[in-house]
A and B are shown apart, each in its own frame.
Chain A
Amino acid sequence: MNEPLSILDLILNASLVVQIVMAILILASMVSWIMIFQRGFSLSSVKREAAQFERDFWSGERDLGQIYVDIEERGEAIGIENIFSSGFKEFTRSKQEGSDPDRVMENVQRAMRVALSREEERLETHLPFLATVGSTSPYVGLFGTVWGIMNSFRGLATVNQASLAVVAPGISEALVATAIGLFAAIPAVIAYNRFSAQVEIIVNQFEAFTEEFSSILNRNVHDSPS
């Protein structure tokens, strides 16, 4: 009786339902941490690339066609580059077709809007998962705990001499499930909030760039009658 209950004992001796709950939660925690890291890396790289591109873009050292060619040569365009290249592609195509300037601008803006929403989607991948883990895993853990406590009390009913020592291990066992649930939920919620704020900032930046770029193109279309 003096023997301390190790956490491994607690987990291994738990009832099947509680064990399944624990397994689900550990898996959820694992996956959510993978997504946290992955999102962190990809968001920071998108931000870095956007900053670099904007610096490049506004420095005026190269003209737009050159930048476009560079991006196309590099292969798949991500983030702000994708918006720029789809806008510019649409612009040159419409201009070659010889449509009138307002039509050209309309097409360009539509193309960039599509690219922007696609980028936004890409930035937000995995975030719903984090939100789900953050909001449901405490409940899942709680379910495991309630189940475990239920069982240990049911065991108590059959014991003649009820004492705390009879129920305590069961309850302790069951509480491990809640602990794991919270362990999974807390980082997920924090990461979700942080990443959605970051995504919003990045999307705002993209939108601002879209407006600026379309104003440049607009000037270009209206100034040079072709």
Chain B
Amino acid sequence: MSQNVTYFIAIVLATLVHVGVVGLLLVNWDEQPLSTEQLDKTYYIQAAVVSENPFTAKERREQVKKQREQSRKKAEIAASRERARIKTEQEREQERARRTERKRKAVVEKQHELDRLKALQQQEPTPAVEHIALQMDSTENMDQEGQLAITDDEKARAYVAQIQRDIVQNWSRPPSARNGMQAVLRVFLVPTGEVVDVIVEESSGNESFDRSAILAVNKADRFIVPRESRQFERNFREFTVLFRPEDLRL
């Protein structure tokens, strides 16, 4: 009789133990999303595939040009400072005058350019453009492509995600990579998805970083692209990829 009672108590206690363990497990498991989020952050790059319309292409090219010009200017300034140390005050004055003159010119040019663009826009409205953006969070990029409309082309997006994954997998960053760096590559594909050409459209300034990015695309070698040729032509014939490490400690 007492034997039965002890068995009963034992069953109850054993059930309690198991329920407790399972409950504990479930409660602790809820905190998991945090860690998976962290895992997601370890993706090394954000690759954006952008189909271009004439406007943005032109704008982008101009921006690149401008940036180059700026960097050249900076270099020149540095050089002039060097010289200025040796040369006279007067020469420095002259140099400054020249610089301000150039700046003014640049501003005027920019203004002019903007006006021209606006005029163009007014002439013909922007055509409906497909845009597949992966960088929803990147406001900077949104500014660059502000004119592009975002569509919910889920299919294309899936392809883009796959391409992005492939590139991420093949990308091994050089030790000199830093968090702020970013490089933009232009990738040319043939309809089978094979990469035929990769060019650096916007250098990060670090040669090995650029090279690693190119290598990543070349290693991926072949991307999965939509079989439908219209879609391929529109989005995947050529696209740009933005490489930007975000998880580095440095």
Contact = CB atoms under 8 A, between A and B. Distances in A.
Interface in A65-104: none
Interface bin, chain A: 20 to 34
A183 B162 contact: no
Interface in A139-195: 160-161, 163, 183
A209 interface: no
Contact of B37 (A2, A35, A38, A41): A2
B29 A6 contact: yes
B6 A7 contact: no
Interface string B9-35: 111011101100100011001001100
B9 A30 contact: no
Contact of A38 (B6, B29, B40): B6
A2 B15 CA distance: 34
B99 to A, nearest CB: 51
A19 interface: no
B21 A34 contact: no
B231 to A, nearest CB: 20
A29 interface: yes
A163 B169 contact: yes
Given A2-B37, A7-B26, A163-B169, A41 B9 contact: yes
Contacts of A34: 7, 10-11, 14
Contacts of B17: 33
A51 interface: no
Interface in A112-150: none
B-side interface mostly:
helix
A163 B11 CA distance: 45
B169 A5 contact: no
B36 interface: yes
Nearest to B168: A163
A134 to B, nearest CB: 16
Contacts of A31: 14
Nearest to A33: B14
B40 A33 contact: no
B21 A183 contact: yes
Contact of A33 (B6, B7, B13): B13
A30 B33 contact: no
A215 interface: no
Interface string A32-50: 0111111001100000000
B10 A35 contact: yes
A36 B169 CA distance: 50
Interface in A4-20: 4-8
B166 interface: yes
Contacts of A30: 14-15, 18
A4 B37 CA distance: 9
Given A30-B15, A161-B224, 5 more contacts: A5-B32, A26-B18, A34-B7, A37-B9, A161-B166
29 contacts: A2-B33, A4-B29, A4-B32, A5-B32, A6-B29, A7-B25, A7-B26, A26-B18, A29-B18, A30-B14, A30-B15, A30-B18, A31-B14, A33-B10, A33-B14, A33-B17, A34-B7, A34-B11, A34-B14, A35-B10, A36-B14, A37-B9, A37-B10, A37-B13, A37-B14, A41-B9, A161-B165, A161-B224, A163-B165
Interface of A: 2, 4-8, 26, 29-31, 33-38, 41-42, 160-161, 163, 183
